[in-house]
Chain A
Amino acid sequence: MAAIRTSTRQRVRQNLTAHGFLLGALLCFGYFSWYPMVREVVMSFQKTKRGRTTWVGLDNLDRIVQDPAFWQAWRNTLLFTVLALLLGFAVPFVVAVLLNELRHAKAYLRVLVYLPVMMPPVASVLLFKYFYDPGHGLFNHLLAGLGLPTLAWLNSSTTAMFSVVLAATWMTMGGATLIYLAALQNIPGELYEAAELDGAGLLRRIWHVTVPQTRLILSLLLLLQIVATMQVFVEPFLLTGGNGPEGSTTTVVYLIYQYAFNFDNYGSASALGLVMLLVLAGFSGLYVRLSRSAD
């Protein structure tokens, strides 16, 4: 009897110690992740006017859907995501394949590609803002030097989003490049040898060995990039002040920011956040399933 009692007491004590170790993290998760998550959902169905909070059901959702900015923000965000993926997904892959073939200057080139990722975003973004200046900016000077027509860059609704994507790609492509590079280094050399013996040329070796061997990491990164790029905020916020010419760079997260902090409308901001969450949850879920199958 006595033995059992001490072991129970011991187990209680062990549990208390363990929860003591967990306490700090639990409080932080509770305050800054779990509670805000619940509050996000609750606030989507509430409205606060002059300090009084009332339930309004789907009114918030109804209101944001009727706001023309809602559809424009989604269109812009999708455009940004598609452009950012065309550039930010394909370019790093090509660069990684190229770097993997080089026998010299590899360390130097790797450092170069990753350097912009480490820069404070304000430095990269303002730098591009100066480059884009239609009057004395470097880019128009280069275009003119090559005999090409100059562009209005951030000042025109047709080129503004493209300019944002270009800056964003420069800032972030290093991460994807290094991850691809690591994946390429894991491809067994015998596969290339066998393909070569079968008479496969360079392009066919890329298509039949490189791509299938890196397919999993490619699809994982694609999903991550979709989730990350759809949350774009800093680049348009700093480059065009957020909305850009004729609202051409208003993104969904910027619209959330505007609802909440410019118009004090937390209900609409939360409702839009919830829509965003549901859209991105699909991609996140797919990511989790894929990465489980990878283990």
Chain B
Amino acid sequence: MRTLISDTQLNRPGGRRAYRIVLVLVVLVFTLVFLGPLYWLVTGGLKSTREVIQNPPTLFPHQLHPATYREAWSQLRIGRLLFNTLYYAFGALALQLVFDVAAAYALSKLRPVLGNLILGMMLATLMIPAAVLIVPQYLTVLDLPLLHVNLVNTPWAIWLPTVANAFNIFLLKRFFDSIPEELMAAAAIDGASPLRALWSIVLPMSRPILGVVSIFAVVNVWKDFLWPLLVQPDPRNQPLNIGINSLSLGVSQNVVIAALAIASAPTVVFFLIFQRNIMAGLTSGGLKG
């Protein structure tokens, strides 16, 4: 594909040399800027308590202290925090898949009375900056209207608000709209119930969009900070982001760094496995607020 600079221009002797220099420079700078901190994270966790705060900083650990990682695991209770994070992320994913898919299906294919009004009200929430609603949302979770339940310190406080995701509804409905009406009519004539049609016609055709929604569902919970800080005050229930930060005070720096390295590892691995889907989802799924 033709871009800003043409292949013929690059293939001239001068062009080729300039290209080489730029390529090497870009690769070096990018590796340094984006991989450098990760290298520092992994090796910092292998340094001794003294070496990690030594001036000047060392590029390689003088002596390897893999025990730091073990210490981080037990002192900061990383196992527990990791489990909590996964529990919140996949619980949120399951609820979003069930309720958002069902809602988008109803709005796209079953078209109930007031459907358009409901869709409009859902999409309108995209206009409201999330930070503005933090306080009333917190008060709601503290004492759920009509039911008078307190969700704080329960996983529901994290799971349920993630279902109110208008972006999911928008993406899913747009995809379901593209499924031909004739298929749905044929299923109805064969006597398939709406649930049956969703299960055996719509869902199998919607794998790509379900993938995008799933990845964002997991990543959003994994990265969230302010909301879990408010609704999970009990240290035993905290996810990684909150737990490491609150436990890191009074622990030596190499142990904290080792903990951060452990906390980053799953996301990095997850990203490397799903990088194609994640990047495709980011660019094709449209722009997200």
Judge if B84 is at the interface, Cβ distance under 8 Å. Answer: no
Complex contact B26–A261 (CB within 8 A): no
**CB contact under 8 A between A100 and B4, given known A109-B26, A285-B127:** yes
Complex contact B129–A231 (CB within 8 A): yes
Contacts of B41 in A (CB 8 A): 123, 127
Contacts of A210 in B (CB 8 A): 4
**CB contact under 8 A between A33 and B103, given known A101-B5, A138-B57:** no
Contacts of A127 in B (CB 8 A): 37, 40-41, 257, 260
Query: A36 CA to B35 CA in the complex, in Å?
Result: 41
Complex contact A32–B137 (CB within 8 A): yes
Residue of A nearest to B283 (CB): A182
Within 8 A of A (CB), among B1-21: 1-6, 10, 19
**CB contact under 8 A between A270 and B164, given known A26-B118, A190-B2:** no
Q: Interface segment, A67-75, A82-90, A274-282?
A: A274-282
* Selected contact of B129 from candidates A35, A113, A179, A227, CB within 8 Å: A227
Contacts of B256 in A (CB 8 A): 126
Judge if A161 is at the interface, Cβ distance under 8 Å. Answer: no
Number of A interface residues at 8 Å Cβ cutoff, please give it: 105
Query: A111 CA to B34 CA in the complex, in Å?
Result: 10
Contacts of B263 in A (CB 8 A): 120, 122-123
Contacts of B128 in A (CB 8 A): 33, 37, 277, 284
Contacts of A121 in B (CB 8 A): 223, 225, 241
Residue of A nearest to B102 (CB): A21
**CB contact under 8 A between A141 and B129, given known A18-B112, A32-B137, A192-B4:** no
Query: A24 CA to B164 CA in the complex, in Å?
Result: 9
Complex contact A26–B34 (CB within 8 A): no
Complex contact A24–B272 (CB within 8 A): no
Residue of B nearest to A40 (CB): B136
Contacts of B87 in A (CB 8 A): none
Complex contact A138–B40 (CB within 8 A): yes
Complex contact A22–B118 (CB within 8 A): yes
Query: A224 CA to B253 CA in the complex, in Å?
Result: 36
Contacts of A109 in B (CB 8 A): 26-27, 30
Looking at chain A's contact residues, the main secondary structure is helix
Judge if B64 is at the interface, Cβ distance under 8 Å. Answer: no
Complex contact B223–A112 (CB within 8 A): no
* Selected contact of B271 from candidates A115, A253, A261, CB within 8 Å: A115
Judge if A215 is at the interface, Cβ distance under 8 Å. Answer: no
Judge if A206 is at the interface, Cβ distance under 8 Å. Answer: yes
Q: Which 9 A-B pairs rank lowest in CB-CB distance, beginning with the nearest?
A: A189-B2, A18-B112, A25-B103, A24-B99, A18-B110, A36-B136, A21-B106, A28-B163, A182-B283
B interface list, Cβ under 8 A from A: 1-6, 10, 19, 22-23, 26-27, 30-31, 33-35, 37-38, 40-41, 44, 53-57, 95, 98-100, 102-103, 105-107, 110-113, 115, 118, 121-122, 125-141, 144-145, 160-161, 163-164, 166, 169, 194, 219, 222-223, 225-226, 230, 240-242, 244-245, 248, 253, 256-257, 260-261, 263-264, 267-268, 270-272, 275, 278-279, 282-284, 287-289
